[in-house]
Amino acid sequence: MEVYSKHSVKPWCNALFLGLILAFIASLTSAETHYHEFDVQATPVKRLCKTRNIITVNGEFPGPTLEVRNGDTLVIKVLNSARYNSPYTGKSS
């Protein structure tokens, strides 16, 4: 039988610590690249017997939800078909 002193580390603790470190590194290296295309446009909507144009993204209001994780890369292509700049597109320089 092996006797452990007050300050010695049990062998299973080393394996557990190493496993946690490897799991953390694996979660960092699983980053993905996401590609999205958005068409910002004015869409006529009828509410309370009145038709008004609202700004939609890909025909949706509110626009689509993006689900990403830390470390992911986003590549976004936006086509502004609306008459005015919108918060989604900003001004081009």
pLDDT, one tens digit per residue, over 16-26 is: 777 777 777 76
Q: What is the pTM (predicted TM-score) of this model?
A: 0.53
Confirm if 34 and 73 have CB atoms less than 8 A apart: yes
| 6 inside domain | no
Q: In this model, does residue 35 exceed pLDDT 90?
A: yes
Residue 93 structural domain: 32-93
Specify the CATH number for the domain of residue 72. Answer: 2.60.40.420
Distance between CA atoms of residues 51 and 31, nearest Å: 44
| 15 inside domain | no
* Cα of 69 vs its chain's centroid, Å: 5
Distance between CA atoms of residues 71 and 24, nearest Å: 13
Q: Which residue has the higher pLDDT, 55 or 3?
A: 55
pLDDT, one tens digit per residue, over 5-16 is: 555 556 666 777
